[in-house]
Amino acid sequence: MRYFISLICFVLCLNLFSQRDRSIDSLLRILKTLNAKAGDPSLKDTSRVNVLVSLSRKCSFRGDHSTAIKHARIAENISNKLIEEGFSKEGKKCLADAISSLGYAYYTYEDIPNSTREYKRELKIRQELGDPKDLAMCYNYIGTNYLVQENNPVAMEFFFKALKLMEETNNKNEIATVYNSLGVCFTNQNEYDKALEYYKKEQAIGELIKDKDVTSMAVTNIGAVYGEKGEHPKALEYFMKYLKLVEKTDNVLEIALAYVNIGSTYESMNEHEKALEYSLKARDMLEQQSNRQYQYLGLVYLNTGTIYTSMIKKGIGNRQKNIQEASSYLNKALETYQRLGLPTYIGECYKAISEFNTNTGKMEDAFQNYKKYIQYKDSVTNAENTSKSIRIEMNYEFEKKESASNLEQEKKETIAKEENEKQKTIRNLFIVAFGFMLLLAIFIFISYRQKKQVNSVISKQKLEVEEQKSLVERNQKQIIDSINYAKRIQSSILPNDTILKKVFTESFILYRPKDIVSGDFYWFCSLPDSKEMILAVADCTGHGVPGAFLSMVGSTLLNEIVTHKNITDPAEILKALCSGLSSTLVSKQKEEINPDGMDISICKIDSEKKRLMFAGANQTLYLVGNGKVEKTESQINSINGVFDLRTNDQLYSIGVDLSDITAVYLTTDGFADQMGELTKKKFLSTRFEDLLLKVHNLSANEQLSEIENTFNTWKGNQKQIDDVLVIGFKV
């Protein structure tokens, strides 16, 4: 069973912020009374910096990360001007506060590499200023980032530095925060006795200063550690104590999580009915909330399904009902975590479903689901390396089998050839010896027996060769079937072109992967309550299976950015996509960004106002009208695609009036880079522009047919060298 362990490394920061918990509107009014505007570069004094830092933290806490970063950057600029004008100490203090708010903004955005970078910038300034309290806070923030990245040794190094300074200032709340963080580190390393030592120190401080939040946090973590150690009665004692503490606060989430831990403990003690009682209590509380906490609800579903599975295994209660309930809850948990996109918990769901299949006699399903669990188990720490290792392993196994089969085939063919030569020799001897039949009768009889033996050997060898060939064909079919299944998954992720045709009746999509799956992908959606559409065309690093992995990551991030975060400006989408890809493909061991990326064009089109906003990386927007082709070049031009975006200030959306434009085209480089059968040269962008000028007045279906025929004619029997994607429409 799973225990919920509380991590409060940032409780100190949030507590300090809540002490000045003014609304954003209130802070903006204060800023206005200081005769300042948020974008005015002339802001100078410390009062404005303090208000801007508070605004930044408030926006981060509310999830408005772009605004939070903007306020922090303005505060940073004002602080630098204060330093330039001779206010060194005050200016550096303001600068450190501004950079700290940047680190917090990136942390809440889950961009841990950029957050760590900003906190390390802050650390240098705090070390110059020498204030032990501020320096301890900075050490704590950096330690938290390393803990989130599961780098426990480095995290503990920073936490102990913070603890030493906090003990000097004797701030009990801050010391309790670090004790909790160290307890989490030791728990992650399975050093349970050390974890208990720090959690109990935290509990003692909470009781001393009569802080219920600190006390309850320590108590539930102590219970979780006892549970991990297998001391379940002790764990139950602390979880019950935690429940009494949080029931006084009426915090639904905390009460529900208490029920989860109590249910998990009863399950470990084989008291299934009590375990089920508390698990269902947690379910009822969370499902009744209007703003559902789906991550925790998924945990409740998973635990409830596991309890029913255990009851099936031990023959407790009505078996058929238990099977139905276990299946229902485990599938709910899987659907919840798939919707949230949490690989670790998705893997845990597949593991639990595999256990359920085993206990219901479905061994093949159990095996397949356990394979899925293994695939998901390590994806959260290094998704890109995992996909590469799977691909390398698959290629290695296939090549090894194919090589072995080829060697065996060659060996068998050589033996067969030698035997055929022997057969010919025997036949010739038989013809020569026919005239000497009487004299050589005994010799002929012996030769006949040898021939019969040889034929038997050849038949066996032929059968073995056919079996090896069949084995290679089966292995190849399994690999191709897997890739075809990946194609179906990728096709299901791509949006339906009816959405595009609903907005632009005259539109087409030419989509031709080089291999079965593609590194090129398109994405679009209509914005609600408007005549606007967001359209993106992207070319990921590589093609085939590697490119397809990255294309699904890009499509998922675009859904999150536009649909869930309501970011609709193309430049801002590109920035958020860059940040999201950086976070997804980060190397936790080396603190660097994976160089893989994508070239992309992003357009926002208002069909009513005939207006288009464009931002792109390494791709060109083609506009055809008045007998000519106009190109809108991308703002980023480098081999690394969107990862070349270093600062947000360098990128902005380009506005285009479509009143005189007949057709708009977005394309990846696959069409222009295609080698011709006759010329042995690339098609090139100049020919592509001439082609667009030629077809732009035709209907969408005629354009698609003409462009596709041109591509096929140019390519001929030449191999397609890259994925091809062209989208065209008339406004």
Alpha helices in 109-231 (DSSP H): 112-129, 132-148, 152-169, 172-188, 192-209, 212-229
User: What is the per-residue pLDDT across 624-640, written as a single tens digit (0 to 9) for each?
Assistant: 998 899 999 888 865 45
Instruction: Classify residue 680: in a domain, yes or no.
Output: yes
Q: Considering the chain, what is the average pLDDT of its residues?
A: 82
For 469-491, letters b (16+ CB in 10 Å) and e give: eeebeeeeeeeeeebeebbeebe
Q: What is the residue range of 105's domain? A: 1-129
Q: Tell me how far apart the alpha carbons of residues 309 and 275 are, in angstroms, rounded to a whole number.
A: 12
CA separation (Å) from 468 to 288, 402, 465? 60, 10, 5
452 shares its domain with 536: no
In this prediction, residue 28 carries a pLDDT of 61
Instruction: Classify residue 238: in a domain, yes or no.
Output: no
In this prediction, residue 10 carries a pLDDT of 37
Instruction: Classify residue 181: in a domain, yes or no.
Output: no
472 shares its domain with 568: no
541 φ/ψ sector (left φ>0, alpha ψ -120 to 50, else beta): beta
432 shares its domain with 540: no
121 shares its domain with 82: yes
In this prediction, residue 645 carries a pLDDT of 59
Q: Tell me how far apart the alpha carbons of residues 112 and 105 are, in angstroms, rounded to a whole number.
A: 10
584 shares its domain with 674: yes
Inter-residue contact 726 to 671 (CB < 8 Å)? yes
More confident position, 377 or 631? 631
Choosing from 461, 490, 519, the residue where a domain stops is: 490
Instruction: Indicate the number of domains in the chain.
Output: 3
In this prediction, residue 397 carries a pLDDT of 39
Q: What is the largest CA-CA distance in the chain?
A: 129
Tell me what percent of the residues of the chain surpass a pLDDT of 90.
Answer: 35
Question: How does strand 654-657 pair with strand 628-632?
Answer: unpaired
In this prediction, residue 413 carries a pLDDT of 62
442 shares its domain with 566: no
In this prediction, residue 25 carries a pLDDT of 63
Residue 571: give its domain's CATH number.
Answer: 3.60.40.10
Q: Is the dihedral of CA 335, 336, 340, 343 positive or negative?
A: negative
512 shares its domain with 599: yes
434 shares its domain with 566: no
Instruction: Classify residue 229: in a domain, yes or no.
Output: no
Tracing tokens 């002929």 back to the chain, one arrives at: 444
Tracing tokens 């209590």 back to the chain, one arrives at: 281
Confidence of residue 572 (pLDDT cuts 50, 70, 90): very high
SS3 671: coil
Instruction: Classify residue 285: in a domain, yes or no.
Output: no
Query: Average pLDDT in the 140-154 region?
Result: 88
Instruction: Classify residue 217: in a domain, yes or no.
Output: no
Instruction: Classify residue 578: in a domain, yes or no.
Output: yes
Q: Tell me how far apart the alpha carbons of residues 79 and 88 are, in angstroms, rounded to a whole number.
A: 9
724 shares its domain with 598: yes
Residue 401 has pLDDT above 70, yes or no: no
User: What is the per-residue pLDDT across 284-308, written as a single tens digit (0 to 9) for each?
Assistant: 888 887 666 677 788 888 989 999 9
List strands edge to edge, sheet with 611-617.
Answer: 520-526, 532-540, 598-606, 611-617, 654-657
Instruction: Classify residue 645: in a domain, yes or no.
Output: yes
Tracing tokens 């005939």 back to the chain, one arrives at: 610
Residue 725, beta-bridge partner list:
511
Residue 18 has pLDDT above 80, yes or no: no
Query: Average pLDDT in the 324-347 region?
Result: 87
Q: How many CB atoms lie within 10 A of CB 413?
A: 12
Inter-residue contact 714 to 676 (CB < 8 Å)? yes
Choosing from 70, 99, 129, the residue where a domain stops is: 129
64 shares its domain with 99: yes
Choosing from 75, 109, 129, the residue where a domain stops is: 129
In this prediction, residue 15 carries a pLDDT of 37
420 shares its domain with 480: yes
Q: Tell me how far apart the alpha carbons of residues 396 and 378 are, in angstroms, rounded to a whole number.
A: 20
448 shares its domain with 499: no
Q: Tell me how far apart the alpha carbons of residues 64 and 488 are, in angstroms, rounded to a whole number.
A: 36
